[in-house]
Chain A
Amino acid sequence: EAGVVQSPRYKIIEKKQPVAFWCNPISGHNTLYWYLQNLGQGPELLIRYENEEAVDDSQLPKDRFSAERLKGVDSTLKIQPAELGDSAVYLCASSPRTGNTGELFFGEGSRLTVL
C-alpha cells in the first residue's frame, strides 16, 4: 500500500513569492491534515479535512495561507505571499477513520526555505 505522497520535497523561494504544496493521502483515508513543523518543535495542526470539507481550520493563517481538497482526495496548501518566518517543514497526514483519532500517517514532508 502506497503511503502519503507529498511534493515537492524541497522548495527554496524569495520572500513575497507564492508557493504551493501537494498531498495525496493513503487510498481510502477520508481524513487529511496539514501540519507545520519548525526545527526542534512538534508538528502543529494547520487544517483538517473530512472528505472535501475543512472541519478545523482555526490554526490556518488565512491572510496568506489557503488550502483546498476539491474532490475529497488530494489536497493543495498554498502560501501567498511567503514570509521569512514561513520557513519550516509542511507535513501532510491522513487517517482511515472519520474524526481525529490521533493515529496519523504522515508523508515525508515539504521543506520550505524562504530567503
Chain B
Amino acid sequence: QKEVEQNSGPLSVPEGAIASLNCTYSDRVSQSFFWYRQYSGKSPELIMSIYSNGDKEDGRFTAQLNKASQYVSLLIRDSQPSDSATYLCAALDTGGFKTIFGAGTRLFVKA
C-alpha cells in the first residue's frame, strides 16, 4: 500500500453541489494532513491542513480526519466551475521529515 492513496477521478459534480474528495493513508505517515489544489499547468497551493480527529471548516471547504479508519476527506460546498482542478492529499511521514503527496483527484464542476 502506498503511503497516501487517492482515486484519480475524474470526479464530476454539477455547479452548486457538494464535492467529496477522499484520501486513505498507511501507518507510514504521521497525523498531519494537508489538501493542496493544483490548477492545470500551475503549481500546488495549500488550501487546508488538519491535525486532529474530526472536522475543520474554512469557508466552503471542510476537511475531515478519521484516524480509526485512516482516511481524510475534503468537502467542497456550493461547488463552482472555478473549483475544477486536481486536489492533492498530502501527509508528513512518521519521522516528520518529508511531505508525501498522493497522485491527486481531478475534480470537474459542470456549469
Contacts and interface: CB of A to CB of B under 8 A. Distances in A.
B48 to A, nearest CB: 10
Interface string B31-65: 01110000000111110010000000000000000
A108 B40 CA distance: 11
Contacts, number: 55
Interface string A100-114: 111111111100000
Nearest to A91: B43
B72 to A, nearest CB: 12
Contact of B91 (A40, A101, A102): A102
Interface in A40-87: 40-45, 48, 55-56
A100 B34 CA distance: 13
A99 interface: yes
Contacts of B97: 48, 55-56, 100
B19 interface: no
A42 B98 contact: no
B49 A103 contact: yes
B52 to A, nearest CB: 14
Contacts of B104: 40-42
A contact residues, range: 20 to 34
Interface in A2-54: 40-45, 48
A109 B104 CA distance: 17
A43 to B, nearest CB: 5
A108 B34 contact: no
B73 to A, nearest CB: 17
Contacts of B99: 45, 100, 102, 104
B88 interface: yes
Contact of B46 (A40, A91, A103): A103
Contacts of A41: 103-104
Interface string B13-37: 0000000000000000000111000
Interface of A: 40-45, 48, 55-56, 91, 99-109
Given A40-B104, A103-B34, 6 more contacts: A42-B104, A45-B98, A91-B43, A100-B96, A101-B32, A104-B46
